[in-house]
Amino acid sequence: MLSNMITIIEDNWLLLLIGQYPNGPLGGISSTLILSVLGIVLAFPLSVLIALARLSHWKVLNWPATALVYIVRGVPLLMLILWVYFLVPLLIGDSVPGFVTMLCTLVIYEGAFLSEIVRGGIVALPAGQMDAARALGHSHFGAMRYVILPQALYNMMPSILSQFVSTIKETTLGYVINVPELTFAASQLNNRLLTKPFEIFAILAIVYFVVCWSLSELANRLEKRIDKQRQGDDQPAAGPLEHASPQTRGAT
Amino acid sequence: MIQFSHVNKFYGSYQALVDVNATVNKGEVVVVCGPSGSGKSTLIRTVNRLEPIQSGQVLFDGQNVHADLKSAELNRLRARIGFVFQSFNLFPHLSVLENIMLSPVRVNAVKRGEASQTAMRLLDRVGLAHKAKAYPAQLSGGQQQRVAIARALAMEPPVMLFDEPTSSLDPEMVGEVLAVIRSLAADGMTMMCVTHEMNFARDVADCVWFMDAGKILEIGAPADFFSNPQHPRAQRFLSDLHVR
């Protein structure tokens, strides 16, 4: 069986890596990773906006944001994918590639989930931070931008990374609307070889595991480092904290 | 400079401030004292509207702080009132120097170079120039509070408010913070200070306000207040503290 798996990889590594590209759309693990990275990167600014709206005293902002979060949290991702799949073409009057449909869905879905992480990070900071910023004359927005968010987002980096790992796993659901990604590539392979489903899906599982486990491990290390720093008087806090300037943080 | 007239504040049905009337004049140092829960901190926090009030007026420099102000007006007002907290509230993600520079640069649009010079001068004044590059977590409580004072001073406020500035400090660090406040008083800064440090009050204050249960029960010069308090509650308070 192991030798079967190695043979399958040797014969089909390119399909698993990039799908049918350049003869077809980009697929395989590269498509999965691009989809996840774009999903998180686009969802992140959205999530900050949703979180700020959720924390706002203005009902016009608070209400729709809260409704969005509750709806998305209460609906399975698969429902959301199918819904976007059928709705978006109706709205824009043209068919949309599966990749784009999946990306839109992920941005909404991850945006809602990340916004709860962001909101939690903001609420967890001592109230004195906001008081101090306001007492110095900063506007609410200025206090958020220079004082609250830089701290909250830095503290949240491990959670955001975990959410990224979830996103990688969630891209597999793109399979149902024929998004060319890793699971799709594996199933194409299975349709072609027919007799080796166990080996093929074992390879698939191993690839997902390696990617997700490495990222989770990175999140753990990050968390330990941040914990150490929070307690850490003796630690030279200058290094890591400097990396946490608002500019670099925006790039996560 | 600061004038409270008929200030009432409620937390739900609990009345935290009861018809407060008092004035802080320019150049004056007012110490507010009284037992815990008497409304001292609430009172000082109404001056820059960190606490809203339900009725009455707080005037700062002739301007009604609790009027229906545009948020930009309120921010400008707050920028001119230095405030020092019991728990320091330094920004932990910024170095000491950046803590002090942030608001002049972002609120008052001071150039970075100029703000940095001012910050270094102020750090020197509070005796912490050598800590400019350190982060708050690397400083002792007393050092953090001195940085917090420098941070407030960087906005060049005409008045400084201190809300129990030494209450969360270890005893051996109280002196260094009080020394900084004393030097400000000597320079003629208008100040309002909530504190339990009665010796400091006796030395530095021009005027002592004694509060209990949301009311100002007694206003007097420190010499009179400490040697001959009029109100029975003030007499009991002082004898409990053994300062008489």
In this structure, what DSSP letter does residue A194 have? -
Is there a contact between B138 and A237 if contact means CB atoms under 8 Å apart? yes
Residue in chain A lying closest to B108 (CA): A137
> Mutating which of B47, B65, B93 best tests the A interface, going by the most A Cβ atoms within 10 A?
B93
Phi, psi of B23, rounded to the nearest 5 degrees: -135, 135
State pLDDT tens for residues A145-154.
999 999 999 9
User: Three-state SS for A248?
Assistant: helix
pLDDT at residue A247 greater than cutoff 50: no
Mean pLDDT, to the nearest integer, of B196-200? 91
- Contact of A24 with A178, CB cutoff 8 Å: no
Mean pLDDT of chain A: 88
Render the burial of B228-242: b for 16+ CB within 10 Å, e for the rest. Answer: ebeeebbeebbeeee
CA atoms within 13 A on the CB side of B90: 28
Chain A interface, Cβ < 8 Å to B: 126, 128-129, 131-140, 142, 146-147, 150-151, 154, 229-230, 232-233, 237-238, 241, 244
Residues in contact with A124: Cβ distance below 8 Å, sequence separation at least 6, in sequence order: A152, A155
- How is residue A111 written in tokens? 């945006």
Is there a contact between A150 and B135 if contact means CB atoms under 8 Å apart? no
Mean pLDDT, to the nearest integer, of B146-174? 95
Residue in chain A lying closest to B155 (CA): A136
The count of other CB atoms within 10 Å of the CB of residue A225 is 15
Dist CA B53 CA A245 (whole Å): 37
pLDDT at residue B231 greater than cutoff 60: yes
Amino acid of residue B57: Q
Q: What is the pLDDT, as a whole number, of residue A232?
A: 55
> Mutating which of B101, B103, B145, B168 best tests the A interface, going by the most A Cβ atoms within 10 A?
B103
State pLDDT tens for residues A199-228.
999 999 999 999 999 999 998 898 888 878
> Mutating which of A130, A131, A136 best tests the B interface, going by the most B Cβ atoms within 10 A?
A136
| Contact residues on chain B for A142, CB-CB shorter than 8 A | 106-107
- Contact of A166 with A30, CB cutoff 8 Å: no
State pLDDT tens for residues A117-135.
999 999 999 999 999 999 9
State pLDDT tens for residues A161-186.
999 999 999 999 999 999 999 999 99
The confidence band for A92, taking pLDDT boundaries of 50, 70 and 90, is confident
pLDDT at residue A34 greater than cutoff 60: yes
Mean pLDDT of chain B: 95
Residues in contact with A3: Cβ distance below 8 Å, sequence separation at least 6, in sequence order: none
State pLDDT tens for residues B105-154.
999 999 999 999 999 999 999 999 999 999 999 999 999 999 999 999 99
Parallel, antiparallel or unpaired: strands B14-24 and B159-163: unpaired
- Contact of B164 with B117, CB cutoff 8 Å: no
Q: What is the share, in percent, of chain A residues with pLDDT greater than 70?
A: 91
| Contact residues on chain A for B89, CB-CB shorter than 8 A | 126, 128-129, 131-132
pLDDT at residue B35 greater than cutoff 70: yes
Is there a contact between A136 and B152 if contact means CB atoms under 8 Å apart? yes
Residue in chain A lying closest to B152 (CA): A136
Listed residue (B150, B128, B135) closest to B84, CA to CA:
B150
The confidence band for A230, taking pLDDT boundaries of 50, 70 and 90, is low
In this structure, what DSSP letter does residue A114 have? H
| Contact residues on chain B for A233, CB-CB shorter than 8 A | 137-138
Q: How much helix, strand and coil, in percent to the nearest 5, is found in chain A?
A: 85, 0, 15
Q: What is the pLDDT, as a whole number, of residue A250?
A: 36
State pLDDT tens for residues B76-116.
999 999 999 999 999 999 999 999 999 999 999 999 999 99
A24-28, long-range: CB < 8 A, 24+ apart: A24/A180, A25/A97, A25/A99, A25/A180, A26/A180, A27/A180, A27/A181, A27/A182, A27/A184, A27/A185, A28/A180, A28/A181, A28/A182, A28/A185
Q: Which residues pair with B212 in a beta bridge?
A: B215
Is there a contact between B89 and A126 if contact means CB atoms under 8 Å apart? yes
- Contact of A19 with A28, CB cutoff 8 Å: yes
Q: What is the pLDDT, as a whole number, of residue B76?
A: 95
